[in-house]
A and B are shown apart, each in its own frame.
Chain A
Amino acid sequence: MAKTLLDKVWDAHTVRTLPSGQTQLLIGLHLIHEVTTPQAFQMLRDSKLKVRMPERTFGTLDHIIPTTDQTRPYADPLAEEMAVHMIRNMKDFSLPLFDMSTGKQGIVHVIGPELGLTQPGMTIACGDSHTSTHGAVGAIAFGIGTTQVRDVLATQCLAMARPKLRQVRVDGALAKGVYAKDVILAIINRLGVKGGVGYAYEYAGPVIDRMTMEERLTVCNMSIEGGARCGYVNPDQTTIDYLRGRQYAPAGAAFDKAAAWWKSVASAPGASFDDVARLDGGAIEPMVTWGINPGMSVGVSQRIPAPESAPESDRSTFREALAHMSFQAGQPIKGAKIDVAFVGSCTNGRLSDLRIAAEVAKKGKVAKGVRALIVPGSQQVAKAAEAEGLHEIFQAAGFQWRKAGCSMCLGMNPDQLVGREMSASSSNRNFIGRQGSPTGRTLLMSPAMVAAAAITGAVADVREILK
């Protein structure tokens, strides 16, 4: 029978079937960061266990670090304590840490692919739900909790059940001004925030095939927002070209052998899926979320829907969303005033994201009263962007050029919303309180749309600005 990538990778990493019926699955790459690991290392110490495969474990600092002054000790003593623990744990267990001094620090889901650590055919785990990002290269990548981090540290394995597989096909071609972020927001809008529960998503079709690796990373990043356990794209020439020359990718003759194996793990023609969903890429508009979960979105030309348009069971969440956001059903999303603009995060903090935001930034100046942040996803992204002069374009337009980190995606570092501020954000979650203020409001959109909102002072249609 023609096997899918999920089947091939799962089978190759199966250590045994557990008495519970689950699979004991080997994890080929374990990425760790400061927030979800200190307790896991303590559990390891308490049980007198070692790290099973230290050579397959890599760490970085991303969630808690400030993006302005990164001199230690950090101003926030709690953040400093987390950094101290991370550095000590990595040292005590002899694990590599990409800290500031390496020039390779960054958001864990940005640096994994960037360093070539993330490779096709791998199983990858990290104590962060956006680990699904790494599926873009053709890996099966899971977000896990801290006790599972302990398991991976101690055994290099997880106890897991194989998810069902849904192929999500995006046909046609995207219009100008429509990006990978719009595609994944449209997918989540269509399939729902719980539509993926029990599934892995295989993204396919002409639109996905034509995407660059960075665009695929954006799509796979938000698989979890659609409820899917993980998401991936089959490895192809784009994948191989992306990995060539990266620090941890094989080199020389080994690269060609690797490339052949990588291609071989792709889903075979004729492989069958538990479900197939299709979207017309040509029909996707620039998307903007209006509510309190990533499925509550509309095209920028559309109006905020009425609760009555939703299934009965979702109506209370709908009403809660409208109340939290201070929106009226039927109101156009375009023109909604913003206070903050944020380009960055593991979803959209890569070089291509900054390039497109800079292209829009050239068309104007940050609107009066708007606080606009550009936060590169890694030190390497920052360096490459500065080499192209992107930081100067941003600064000339009134954007703040920051240092690498998770920043305003979540309220764990000094970059936070204040009070009821409305944020146009290239991040992944518009949950209540997500950006640090319990009453703060988030509108998710593409980096181009964030830049457009920044210079307009309100939600704008980037297609009109780029005309």
Chain B
Amino acid sequence: MSAATDYTRRQITGRGIPLPGNDIDTDRIIPARFLKEVTFETMGQHAFEDARKQNPEHPFNSPVYKGASVLVVGQNFGCGSSREHAPQALMRWGIAAIVGGSFGEIFFGNCVMLGIPCLRASQEDLEWLQREIGRSPQSPMTVDVEKQEVRFGDRTVKATIPDGPRNQLVGGTWDSTAVLLEAGAAIETTARKLPYVAGF
């Protein structure tokens, strides 16, 4: 990426795609057989592959949601396997932000590492958003990470994200390697204080 790349994720505006249902696991987002790759390049093609084949009505099959970038899900989305291939698949399909009831924690962390904000909203608001997106799939919506809200049409709903990841996303410091490297020799100093590193 060039030095001019903007890493800040203050707000994301785009069309929505609703995916109702709870406990959608990362095996469902991308089945394990597609993980046999040494790059993430092809992952976007396989997002929800089995679910899409089994269900022609799956939102990821629908031409009306092509080009959508805000995914609205239910509870415990992305539970299960730690595979980053899951958020990579969604990102490469076009998803730039996710709004849901709750998220699998490793999935949430992986999304932060890719600069994809995952915000939590109430069940009632999620159902409303999913309904509204279904009614007018061409309307843009905004996920405001900084203000912790989601705007659709003339309505604004509350959507939260913990302070740490919010600061990373808003501040553009989610690409963490550089930030962690800044600690310099403090890393080795911390290690040397540990008896199992220093030697018992």
Task: Determine how close the nearest CB of chain A comes to the CB of B46; give it in whole angstroms.
Answer: 12
- Known contacts A15-B187, A22-B164, A197-B76, A148 near B109 by CB under 8 Å: yes
What 1/0 flags go to B49-68 for Cβ under 8 Å of A? 01101100000000000000
* B132 interface hit (Cβ, 8 Å): no
Which of these binds chain B: A79-87, A165-173, A205-213, A351-359? A79-87
Of A35, A121, A150, most buried by chain B (CB within 10 Å of CB) is A35
A224 and B27: CB pair below 8 A?
no
A254 and B109: CB pair below 8 A?
no
In the complex, what residues of B have CB within 8 A of residue A128's CB? 81-82
Question: How far, in whole Å, are A19 and B170 apart by their CA atoms in the complex?
Answer: 12
Question: How far, in whole Å, are A255 and B200 apart by their CA atoms in the complex?
Answer: 8
Question: How far, in whole Å, are A28 and B50 apart by their CA atoms in the complex?
Answer: 38
A35 and B35: CB pair below 8 A?
yes
Question: How far, in whole Å, are A22 and B94 apart by their CA atoms in the complex?
Answer: 28
Residue ID in chain A nearest B108 by CB atoms: A197
B75 and A194: CB pair below 8 A?
yes
* A177 interface hit (Cβ, 8 Å): no
- Known contacts A21-B163, A227-B76, A82 near B187 by CB under 8 Å: no
* A364 interface hit (Cβ, 8 Å): no
In the complex, what residues of B have CB within 8 A of residue A142's CB? 106
Question: How far, in whole Å, are A267 and B194 apart by their CA atoms in the complex?
Answer: 18
Task: Determine how close the nearest CB of chain A comes to the CB of B51; give it in whole angstroms.
Answer: 8
Which of these binds chain A: B17-25, B143-151, B152-160? B17-25
* A320 interface hit (Cβ, 8 Å): yes
Question: How far, in whole Å, are A215 and B39 apart by their CA atoms in the complex?
Answer: 36
* B4 interface hit (Cβ, 8 Å): no
B25 and A431: CB pair below 8 A?
yes
Number of chain A residues whose Cβ lies closer than 8 Å to a Cβ of chain B: 87
* A39 interface hit (Cβ, 8 Å): yes
B113 and A147: CB pair below 8 A?
yes
A436 and B36: CB pair below 8 A?
no
* A309 interface hit (Cβ, 8 Å): no
B183 and A436: CB pair below 8 A?
no
* A263 interface hit (Cβ, 8 Å): no
Question: How far, in whole Å, are A35 and B190 apart by their CA atoms in the complex?
Answer: 30
* B14 interface hit (Cβ, 8 Å): no
Within 8 A of B (CB), among A420-467: 429, 431-434, 436, 438-439
What 1/0 flags go to A19-56 for Cβ under 8 Å of B? 11110101010000001101100100001010011001
Q: Contacting B31 at CB < 8 Å: which of A22, A85, A411?
A: A411
- Known contacts A64-B36, A313-B123, A127 near B50 by CB under 8 Å: no
Q: Contacting B39 at CB < 8 Å: which of A36, A39, A49?
A: A39
In the complex, what residues of B have CB within 8 A of residue A378's CB? none
Task: Determine how close the nearest CB of chain B comes to the CB of A64; give it in whole angstroms.
Answer: 6
Of A14, A82, A148, most buried by chain B (CB within 10 Å of CB) is A148
Task: Determine how close the nearest CB of chain B comes to the CB of A365; give it in whole angstroms.
Answer: 32
Question: How far, in whole Å, are A79 and B23 apart by their CA atoms in the complex?
Answer: 29
Q: Contacting B32 at CB < 8 Å: which of A22, A143, A436?
A: A436
A145 and B84: CB pair below 8 A?
yes
B23 and A293: CB pair below 8 A?
yes
Q: Contacting B28 at CB < 8 Å: which of A147, A198, A431?
A: A431
What 1/0 flags go to A68-83 for Cβ under 8 Å of B? 0000000010110110
Q: Contacting A20 at CB < 8 Å: which of B75, B164, B196, B200?
A: B164
* A129 interface hit (Cβ, 8 Å): yes
Question: How far, in whole Å, are A373 and B179 apart by their CA atoms in the complex?
Answer: 47
In the complex, what residues of B have CB within 8 A of residue A47's CB? 177
- Known contacts A146-B84, A431-B27, A78 near B179 by CB under 8 Å: no
Question: How far, in whole Å, are A22 and B113 apart by their CA atoms in the complex?
Answer: 14
Within 8 A of A (CB), among B131-183: 162-165, 167-168, 171, 173, 176-177, 179-181, 183
Q: List 6 A-B contacts (CB under 8 A).
A: A142-B106, A155-B177, A410-B32, A431-B80, A434-B32, A438-B31
Known: A28-B197, A127-B84, A411-B31. 8 other contacts (CB 8 A): A15-B186, A24-B183, A85-B38, A158-B180, A197-B102, A224-B80, A412-B33, A433-B28
Name B's A-contacting residues (CB within 8 A).
Answer: 20-23, 25, 27-28, 31-33, 35-40, 50-51, 53-54, 74-76, 79-85, 87, 102-106, 109-110, 113-114, 123, 162-165, 167-168, 171, 173, 176-177, 179-181, 183, 186-187, 190-191, 193-197, 199-200
Kindly list the 8 A-B residue pairs having the minimum CB-CB distance in the complex, ordered from nearest: A145-B84, A145-B110, A438-B50, A78-B36, A38-B38, A147-B113, A155-B180, A129-B82
